[in-house]
Structure 1
Amino acid sequence: MAAGGFCRLPNGSVVVALELPGPAGSGTGCVRFLVVAQNRARALTRLRNLGLRAVYLRGNAAPPTPDEITAVLHHPDGLIWRTAPDAGVPEVSQELWHPIRTLLRRPAPQA
């Protein structure tokens, strides 16, 4: 189910795209993450440090599109996400990219 890929940029850095199942109870199906880093190992380490422990990149089946690369390069954190389009639906998504902190934010305790 997990798909991903990478693209090396002219300056030597790498943009990694990973599609993973969304968090339990979040209501999101799959989530597509984009990370920019100096190399693939550092990109995956950034995701692992955020709690996504079982993240691996095998192959280059779903590399980031030019629009995705532009989005992650223009984000100050260099780490963004949005829900992945369903199979059979065109790749064009109307959803905006979100910073990673919105996905990892814990809900406020109920009083």
Structure 2
Amino acid sequence: MKQKKNWLTGDGKCSSSTMGGLKSPDVEIHVMGSAMEVVLVTGLDCQFMFTEIIRMFREEGAEVVNASFSIQDNTVFHTLHSKLGETSAPEDEAARISEKLKKFVYSSVS
């Protein structure tokens, strides 16, 4: 009940336990020129991360062109495709966004 309450209130934390259907989040980031793909794998208790990552992209000026998720057993697979802003150095922008995303995902584990 406490985990459900935390998830519903969006306290920003996910369980690090793999017992009881809970899974620590993991993120993979792929950059191809001005395109960025993020694959986020979470447990059922971390679904708030999906919308938070979309918000981060928008804050950084990147356009989310496609976002989807699928659930298999107790694991949620989120995929986001984005187009980076029209900057002269997309590599720097990609590195900054990647670092911010990783920091958010891995600091969200309680």
Higher share of residues assigned strand: 2
Q: TM-score, normalised by structure 2?
A: 0.30
**Looking at both structures, which has the greater relative contact order when contacts are Cα pairs under 8 Å and sequence separation is at least 6?**
2
Higher share of residues assigned helix: 2
